[in-house]
Amino acid sequence: MAETQQNSQQNDASTFTLRSVVTGPIREMSLLRQSLLFAELSYISYMPRGEAGVFANEMGLDDVRYYDRDGAQAYVFGNQHDAVVVCRGTEPNEWNDIQADLDAIAAVAETVGHVHRGFKREVDDLWPRLEQALLSNERPLWFAGHSLGGAMAAICAGRCKLSHIPSNPEGLFTYGSPRVGDRRYVNYVRMNYYRWVNNNDIVPRVPPRWMGYRHAGQEMYLDSVGRIRNLQGWWRFRDRVRGFVKGLTRLRIDHFSDHNLVGYIEGIWRGIEQEEPVSDRENLAEMKQQRRRSSVPHPHFVDHKQAKDRVVEAPKQR
């Protein structure tokens, strides 16, 4: 569900400006700070494993585990306070991802109701390893993802509630996520779920409602100029038209360009700038710089791509 150009931007770590830093339990952060953190973690989940480990370490998440099974991929980022499961979204060069997006037939969910069969298959590939890794986790557990990764994160969070994992989902944050399941399923998946939608992003509109699919969670809408708004009906339609026209003047199709995760990150950051005093933002920025200067040059993380776990050394910071 992501364009090739979008993924090339997401994989280019040199253009990524990291703003989040975790200094304590995530539940003590504001909603917008949590949203920014999980959006940035979703962003770095598209990066190569070594670079993702470096960025996560700078953010204060020094425990990084990577899981890959038949093209379905996820990270578990953590520290002494929290664990965060971030599912990677669609990559155009991964045929397995493309198949998952297109296979929109409903399948019986592991929980209640029906879910998108392609998304379910992606989770089926990953969940046994994720569940095994989280059986000993007693920290607050968060789920996040962008695009296909958001759909996978939603299904994982639902399964977590029925598993033997000792910690229930603390929260679910998705960005440009498609619809995942039918009405029975979304009524079951009741948790702190924040579903971000950027103006004309086409992905949250599929699969269509006439196929029985519904959204869950609290929608967080970014309007045509990147402001967090609560627009419905005519006002939402007018804002989408405005965004589409603005996109045409920039020689782009808004329905696809708005799916870029960078747009979500920048919109959330603008909300933080309006909400937080400048002094608070400067203090957090200084904490991040101090952590960058004092962090270990070669953070280690566990790569579960192979059948046997192996430790991979991340590259030097640039």
Domains of the chain: 4-293 (3.40.50.1820)
Least confident of 1-5, 36-40, 132-136, 151-155: 1-5
Mean of the pLDDT values across residues 123-128? 93
- Predicted TM-score (pTM) of the model is 0.85
Tell me how far apart the alpha carbons of residues 269 and 33 are, in angstroms, rounded to a whole number: 8
Please name the residues in contact with 117: beta carbons below 8 A apart, sequence gap of 6 or more.
103, 104, 105, 106, 107
Whole-number Cα distances in Å, 14 to 81, 247, 290: 29, 26, 20
Checking if the pLDDT of 122 tops 80, the result is yes
pLDDT at 306: 41
> Which backbone phi and psi does 52 adopt, to 5 degrees?
-60, -40
Q: What is the mean pLDDT of the chain?
A: 83
With pLDDT > 70 as the criterion, what percentage of the chain qualifies? 78
Residue 179 is encoded by which pair of tokens?
A: 């619809």
Tens-place pLDDT, residues 215-231: 999 999 999 999 999 99
